[in-house]
Every structure is written in C-alpha cells, then in structure tokens.
Amino acid sequence: MKNKYNVIVIGSGPGGSTVANQCAAKGLKVAVADELFGGTCALRGCTPKKAMETVTTTFRKFNHLREHGLPDEKLKVDWQKLQAHKQLFTSNVVSGTKANFREKGIDLIESKVEFAGKNKLKTTNGTIYEADKIMIATGAIPRPLDFSGHTYLTTTRELFEINELPKRILFAGGGYIGFEMAHILSVTGAKIMVASGEEVPLSAFDSDLVNPIIKATLNHGIQVKTGWSVIKIKQQKEEYKVTLQRTNSEEQQTVVTDMVVHSAGRVPNVEGLNLKKGKVDFSEKGIEVNEHFQSVSNPTVYAIGDVIGKFPFTPLANFEGEIAVNNMLNKPKKTVNYDGIPMVMFTYPRLAAIGMTEQKAKEEGLKYEVFQKKLSGSLLEKAAQNDFAGYKVIVEKKTEKILGVHLLGSSADEVINLFAMAIQLDIPIKKLKNLLLAYPTAGHLIQYMVSE
C-alpha cells in the first residue's frame, strides 16, 4: 500500500526528527508530516533567540564597562542588522530539514494532518495515510487568551520576523519568554513594558532570586508591572489602548502602546489533531502517555516533547525520542529520569534553576538546609560591573541530596550545568566541597555554594 508506513511522525522539530531518523536507520518505512519543516526551536525559538541574545548581551556588557576601559559612547542595537544576523541561523532550516529526511529515505507529508482512526491520518486535502505506529511531536503553541481584543496580540513567532520594530511594546504576561524578549528588544531603543498577573512572576524560580532579576530588568529601563493583567486591547489608528486590571481587585489602568506581544505561556499543541477520532486521551496538560511515552488509550500512538506537558526543553525532547524509539520497537522498555534537568532564562544577568524552590520543599515537609548568598561583590561579577548576582542551594539534611539550585549572574547558564551533572550523577555535596576547579571562573564558586 502506497500510503502505509511502519512509522509516521507528526512534527519535524528536534524530537520528531530524532524519532524519524532513528527509525529510518533501522530500516523502517518512515514519513514525517508537518506544515513547516524544522520545528519551533530552530525557526522561532531557541536558535533565533540565542543568535539575537548573544549580540544584545554583549551590548549590555559594553554598557556596563563604559568608563572602565571602553569608550563612553551611548549606542543602540540596529534591529534590522540584528534580524539579518538571526537569518544566518534560520534561513536554511526548512530546506535543510527536508533534504536531511529525503537523504535518509524518509517521505515528507507537507500538510497539517489529523486522525482519521486509531492508526490513520488525514491531510487537509483528504489523503489518508496509515501506520503501524504514530509518533506525535507537535510541540507547544501560545496559550489561548479570550479577552476583548485578543486578536490584536502579536506572537513571538511574528515578532521574530517583523521588519520595523515599533517604539513602544507591551508584553502581556510575565513568563520567561516575555522577560527574555524584553531584554533583547530594549537595547534597540524601544520602550518596553512587561505586565504580569502574578505578584511574583517566574514561579519556576525561587522568589529570592526573582526579585533581583526584576530589579535588574528595571535597571535596564524596562518597565515591569507585577500583579497587573491585560484584560482588553482596543485599536486606535496606529496604536493600541490596553486595559490592565490589578489581580484580585477592580482597579484598572490604561496603557497606550504600538504593539502587544503574547507572553502568557504556552500549552501543548493538540489543536486540529482530532485526537478523539484517534482514541487518544489528552487533558490541559497534554497527551496522556505512560512512562514509556505510549498513549494510555491507544497503543499505536506515542508522544514526546512539549506536547506531553512535562519539561519544554529541546535536548530533553531528543532524549525522549531516543527512549521512545527503543520502546516502540518492543525492546526492553526504558524510562526517563527527569531529576536534575536545568532551565535558564537568557536575560542579562541570567537566571537559572534546577529542582525545587524553597517554598516547594516547605510544602512537602522536607528537612533541609539553605546555602544562600549575594554574589555581586565576587571577582567575576565585579569585573563585569554586574550588580545583580546570587545563589540559593537547597539541600536535604539527612541525605545531603541537592533538592534545588537557583542562580543569578552573568554566567549562571554555565554554572547550572555543573550542578546538573552533580544531581544526575548523584554526587553528594561533600564531594563538591573538595573539587579543584579553574580560577578565576564562575564555576569555581560551586564548592563554596554548598559550604557557606
């Protein structure tokens, strides 16, 4: 049968690509279905963000070091040149992804698909495909918002492609994407506001370090309004009148801006898949799978990555893909240990974390101790003229197991990886205390972060 496959993968991002490539390498007949090949991370997520953020962070460091050996000149980043720099990383993603699949004998279904049965998919033009196994790796989409005027919201996907950056931008939501993009865009000279419905945003990070990053954000000239949600957007000629409402109050304020960007989080992308037709159970958290990434209701179907609502990290989707392929091929079943997975918010300075917040440890009734200190006076942070740095390490008393690590600093993104290795390799803090590490580096401080 022409349209019959061993495996059809829905989604061509890193996780889906891992599954397709590994299945094809094992001699299976494989197809990948997608509307735009390449995935969110490479096209409109991690990759373009990092390309831009590298430039803007360098610019911020320059500003911090003016009068300390660098010219005292007030500059700004050119948005169009920054866009051109980003294009170096994204322009060939679609064609390169397709070419890679074809080279490996993987067929392309260049269409959105939906379930037409437990093991059947239908394209937008009605073509039916059948598979022994179906892998869903469709990622996540912006969280649906239904307030008046929500259609005027600009997505970050659209923001990455805009040619002329407006002078005033409001981010509706205080998630990490909003803060990252606010830090990037503010160096262009645009006036930026972040409106968060939460009094203390960025709930995945410990509040003791969230408050300093908010201060750092304010120090960059970005306005942050915590405890205020966007409840209405009204267009007025070339600008927007935005109504904000105080959380748990009737108090309202009006802000006029040129663009309102959706930054209120993302949800698993199950939209349009017709999962009920495929007998695939799902909830607000995503597709319901067992520990082997197999649908709890349809054994033909597997799912990995953001669409199952666990951790929205690209390397993790790749790893889940490898484990899922093993399980799909009926080998001894494997699972994924999610302990010690780090996350980083690429603002300047960086905010990074692993594991529990102190609040979570309290709620679970754990007996723990906290190692905590400001680092703004440390050698590297002082050399970088960064006034916002610190750490908080939460350790279980009896076992000396690291429960959570929260870092703020110019190199927090690299230091968190050392803690990730310690947790994933089950290294006790008594060994971390005796490490000999290169000095002066940010990583050198980890031995003191678990002993002071």
Which long-range CB contacts under 8 A does 142-145 form with residues at least 24 apart?
Answer: 142/262, 142/264, 142/265, 142/266, 142/267, 143/262, 143/264, 143/265, 143/266, 143/267, 144/267, 145/172, 145/262, 145/264
pLDDT tops 90 at residue 139? yes
The structure's pTM equals 0.94
| 402-409 vs 282-283, strand pairing mode | unpaired
Q: How far apart, in Å, do the first and last CA atoms of the chain sit?
A: 67
Rounded Cα distance, 246 and 230, in Å: 9
Structure tokens at 12: 């061509």
**Rg of the chain taking only CA atoms, in angstroms:** 23
Task: Check residue 70 and give its pLDDT.
Answer: 86
* Per-residue b or e along 90-118, where b marks 16 or more CB atoms closer than 10 Å to that residue's CB: beebbeebbeebeeeebbebeebbbbbeb
78 near 188, Cβ under 8 Å? Answer: yes
Confidence of residue 381 (pLDDT cuts 50, 70, 90): very high
Confidence of residue 314 (pLDDT cuts 50, 70, 90): confident
The C-alpha angle 214, 215, 221, rounded to 5 degrees, equals 95
Rounded Cα distance, 278 and 68, in Å: 63
pLDDT tops 80 at residue 452? no
Mean pLDDT of 340-356: 96
C-alpha of 217 from chain center: 19
Confidence of residue 1 (pLDDT cuts 50, 70, 90): low
Going by C-beta distance under 8 Å and a sequence separation of 6 or more, which residues neighbour residue 58?
Answer: none
Mean pLDDT of 94-112: 97
pLDDT tops 80 at residue 26? yes
pLDDT tops 90 at residue 451? no
| 350-355 vs 343-345, strand pairing mode | antiparallel
Mean pLDDT of 40-52: 93
Confidence of residue 245 (pLDDT cuts 50, 70, 90): very high
Q: pLDDT by residue (tens digit) across 148-194?
A: 999 999 999 899 999 999 999 999 999 999 999 999 999 999 999 99
